[in-house]
Amino acid sequence: MNGLPSVRMWRRSGLTAYMYCLLKCSPLILAVAVCHGWLFGDFVGKQKELDEISLWPLPQKFQSSAVAFKLSPGSFQIVHAKQSSAGPSCSILVNAFRRYFEYMFGDLKKHEKSRKKVYDSDLAELQVWITSADPECDGYPSLQADESCELFSLPLLQLVYRDDYGANNINKTDISDFPRFAHRGILLDSSRHFLPLKVILANLEAMAMNKFNVFHWHIVDDPSFPYMSRTFPDLSQKGAYHPFTHVYTPSDVKMVIEFARMRGIRVIPEFDTPGHTQSWGNGQLNLLTPCYSGSSPSGTFGPVNPILNSSYDFMTQFFKEISTVFPDAYIHLGGDEVDFSCWKSNPDIKKFMVQQGFGTDYSKLESFYIQRLLDIVAATKKGYMVWQEVFDNGVKLKDDTVVEVWIGNKMEEELQNVTGAGFTTILSAPWYLDYISYGQDWQRYYKVEPLNFPGTDAQKKLVIGGEACLWGEYVDATNLTPRLWPRASAVAERLWSDKSVTDVGNAYKRLVQHRCRMVKRGIPAEPLFVGHCRQEYMGL
């Protein structure tokens, strides 16, 4: 094209996987093209500094030279390679091309309108080559997605300079990249405080920029039930903070799922039972257990009532709906922190315990409920994720169950036990970002080694990743994003980059620059320490 150099990027597998690659590797492209150019123009010609500030998360293999190309919106384009199995009809790719072009040039295009001349050093195009027979243009991201990608830019022996129009420069760079762990998630809690749709979408954007690929949506809990169910509309009508302003309509949920799909992010909803269900009882009579004070009802309610068939009939209908609304192969069923005191007070529950031979071990009653729930969800052809208590209490689990380890004390022992039993595991215990402290606590998250527990190589392969969790007791739309970023970025690199990437000093230098890239994109990520960004956050 005009005899100008091009960049070629290709994948080894389908588009669902590739789109994740593009959307996750394109920030690498962005980092190389923008960060080495005008955004950090002071570093032009200083290779040591270039290497130190380059990318986040750090790629598996990365080599950059001082050879540079110009990137101009007037002469650069992202195109389908001729050999690619995907083409212009692939909306997910076209959408990504348009979005990343805007990321690179959105604030430059007005400054380059008068530029007519095309220089020999201008980079003409990025060719995207999908090599699989089926590009999966209409698919959803999955745990099995191949996220590897390769980027090569051809050498061109030109001097690096910044012209009067402020054109971007890109250094000759070769990248070969893939994630260390397949599951890299962010948990957001929209029950304790309602999170407006705009906030969720903005954080999906930030997740993509940091190579997270799972949005664990803790959508309902004790305080409120904002999910608007078609089958049981009273759940949100009577259980949300407000039935109209503080709910997620079916179209809202669909928008979140599609926005995430376009960025290679899975959406896994969590509907936690039998505990954490106070808001459910507002809209579904007789679902919760009546608590007693002595021989009389106290007027309060506890967990889901596990002895009534009506409870399981409700769950059957409800999860049938959930399985059709959320396309991911997995649903998170919770199962944590069940308070047994109400069950212990209820005479009908106590009678049932005797009939079942449970004695006074109420964890057996919990297991009885969970087992029936798991059978209900399995009938929808969905897999399930659970918190570690479900495993700890001896519930019979399907072989493909994913157990989430979240309790901090004896974390290594729990990982050893869960993987020793043959179950796939994700880790969140060291990454509860709602616990805040003075100073650079991101370093603590960064230093975690997920596989640092006693076990065989086969056991450690069962740890498929982890999640950074931001629970909502003290978080709403006003402070969620700056509290989450760039602290979650530390978790992102730990889950993506090679195990050997542990230099906190080097990470600090790169993360400072990465935080500035987020700020430039309108993400109000909080500062790591004293300093500044060339383009500061300008507010709402």
Residues taking part in catalysis: 337
- Interstrand relation of 6-11 and 149-153 (parallel, antiparallel or unpaired): antiparallel
- Return d(Cα 170, Cα 153) in angstroms, integer: 9
- Return d(Cα 373, Cα 367) in angstroms, integer: 10
Residue 70 near residue 108, CB atoms below 8 Å = no
- Give me the numbers of helices (H) and strands (E) for the chain, helices first please: 18, 16
- Return d(Cα 409, Cα 421) in angstroms, integer: 20
- DSSP letters, 418-477, are HHHTT-EEEE-TT-BTTS--SS-THHHHHT--TT-SS--HHHHHTEEEEEEEE-STT--T
Containing H/E element for 361?
none
Token pair 């009506």: residue: 310
Burial 433-448 (b: 16+ CB within 10 A, else e): bbeeeeeeebeebbeb
Residue 417 near residue 453, CB atoms below 8 Å = no
Amino acid at 191: S
List 50's β-bridge partners, or say none: none
Positions of E strands within 305-397:
330-332, 383-387
Coil/strand/helix, residue 68: strand
Q: Of 230, 227, 279, whose CA–CA distance to 256 is shortest?
A: 227
Residues 6+ apart with CB under 8 A from 123: 4, 5, 6, 7, 69, 70, 71, 75, 76, 153, 170
The burial class, CB within 10 Å (0-12 / 13-18 / 19+), for 246 is: middle
For the chain, the C-alpha Rg in angstroms (whole number) is 25
Q: How far is CA 234 from the centre of its chain?
A: 30
Residues 6+ apart with CB under 8 A from 47: 64, 65, 66
30 half-sphere exposure, CB direction, 13 A CA radius: 27
- Return d(Cα 257, Cα 255) in angstroms, integer: 5
Structure tokens at 50: 């270039």
Coil/strand/helix, residue 248: strand
Structure tokens at 292: 């007693």
Structure tokens at 492: 């992102």
Task: Centre a 10 Å sphere on the Cβ of residue 230 and count the other Cβ atoms it contains.
Answer: 9
